[in-house]
């Protein structure tokens, strides 16, 4: 898996733009929506209770495309990926993020290091037989009371299916439904599991966002986020 994304590190953005061009949307539309969702998660899940600092980890961060949009969202941000070349590129562009290469066997952090660990569009690149271990490893590095969040493609959305079909590095992707993400959180001992669909409308106006939130329980949006407490 590391090798696949090593080979895309210099043209990852172009490959993503190519796969979503039919929608008329740019990659940053999706990245802004994900960053907004993560900022909201910090508030809704009360991660700053008592004024404590929030240390976050982006598992499978790739070339760090999301990181410029997360400025100020957390007190510190770490990122890791199995692709060494992607990590090299990420660290050149985001000097304030602490990057490490990881292996598919585990994350290079002590138990309970993070208040929040998230993985955006990563699980569908992990072999399904390793999904449980992937969730367990995320759980291990989050402190008790902290939060894990998985952001994934919604397999029920036909536009998402088309984008995955057109994306050169998604050929082996195995999409997981939100219900499967919830059950993986449950099987690995997480609690207070919540999921919401987003990226439903091609607009970021306050009205579009409000409509999207009202419909977020339905499997309509292009992606979903599933989060849970350790």
- 146 closest CA partner among 36, 25, 11, 42: 42
Site string for ligand SAM, 27-66 (x = CB under 6 A): --------------------------------xxxx--xx
Give the whole-angstrom CA distance, residue 175 versus residue 154: 8
Shortest CB 165 distance to ligand SAM, Å: 15
What is the b/e burial string over 180-196, where b = at least 16 CB atoms within 10 angstroms of the residue's CB?
A: bbbebbeebebeebbbb
Shortest CB 195 distance to ligand SAM, Å: 18
**By the rule CB under 6 A, 228 interacts with ligand SAM:** no
Q: Which two tokens mark 120?
A: 């955006």
Give the whole-angstrom CA distance, residue 142 versus residue 112: 4
In this structure, the dihedral spanned by the alpha carbons of residues 209, 68, 152 and 208, taken in order and rounded to 10 degrees, is 10
**By the rule CB under 6 A, 184 interacts with ligand SAM:** no
**By the rule CB under 6 A, 122 interacts with ligand SAM:** yes
Nearer to ligand SAM, 27 or 229 (CB): 27
The count of chain residues that interact with ligand SAM, using the rule CB under 6 A, is 21
In angstroms, the Cα distances linking 1 to 34, 124, 196 are: 23, 11, 28
Shortest CB 49 distance to ligand SAM, Å: 27
**By the rule CB under 6 A, 146 interacts with ligand SAM:** no
Give the whole-angstrom CA distance, residue 207 versus residue 129: 41
Q: 3-state DSSP helix/strand/coil percent for the chain, to nearest 5?
A: 45, 20, 35
**By the rule CB under 6 A, 116 interacts with ligand SAM:** no
Q: Which residue is nearest to ligand SAM (CB)?
A: 62
Shortest CB 115 distance to ligand SAM, Å: 19
**By the rule CB under 6 A, 222 interacts with ligand SAM:** no
Shortest CB 129 distance to ligand SAM, Å: 12
Give the whole-angstrom CA distance, residue 7 versus residue 217: 37
Q: Which two tokens mark 1?
A: 């898996």
Our measurement of the distance from residue 44's CA atom to the centroid of its chain's CA atoms, rounded to an integer in Å, reads 17
Among positions 2-31, residues that touch ligand SAM (CB under 6 A) are 2, 5
The binder of ligand SAM chosen from 10, 11, 52, 104 (CB under 6 A): 104
Selected range binding ligand SAM among 37-45, 77-85, 90-98, 198-206, rule: CB under 6 A: 77-85
**By the rule CB under 6 A, 114 interacts with ligand SAM:** no
Contact residues: ligand SAM, CB under 6 A: 1-2, 5, 59-62, 65-66, 81-83, 86, 102, 104, 120-122, 125-126, 134
């Amino acid at each position: 898996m590391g090798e696949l994304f090593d080979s895309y590190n210099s043209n990852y953005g172009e490959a993503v733009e190519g796969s979503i061009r039919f929608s008329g949307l740019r990659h940053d539309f999706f990245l802004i929506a994900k960053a907004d969702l993560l900022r909201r998660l910090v508030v809704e899940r009360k991660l700053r209770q008592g004024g404590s600092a929030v240390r976050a980890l982006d598992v499978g961060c790739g070339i760090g495309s999301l990181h410029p949009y997360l400025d100020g969202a957390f007190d510190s941000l770490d990122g890791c990926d199995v692709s060494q070349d992607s990590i090299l590129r990420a660290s050149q562009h985001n000097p304030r993020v602490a990057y490490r290469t990881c292996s598919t066997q585990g994350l290079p952090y002590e138990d309970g290091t993070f208040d929040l660990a998230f993985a955006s569009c990563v699980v569908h690149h992990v072999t399904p037989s390793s999904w449980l271990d992937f969730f367990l490893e995320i759980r291990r590095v989050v402190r008790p009371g902290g939060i894990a969040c998985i952001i994934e493609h919604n397999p029920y959305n036909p536009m998402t299916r088309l984008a995955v079909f057109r994306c050169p590095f998604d050929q082996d992707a195995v999409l997981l439904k939100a219900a499967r993400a919830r059950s993986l959180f449950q099987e690995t001992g997480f609690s207070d599991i919540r999921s919401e669909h987003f990226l439903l409308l091609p607009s970021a106006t306050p009205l579009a966002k409000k409509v999207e939130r009202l419909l977020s329980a339905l499997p309509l949006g292009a992606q979903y986020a599933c989060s849970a407490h350790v």
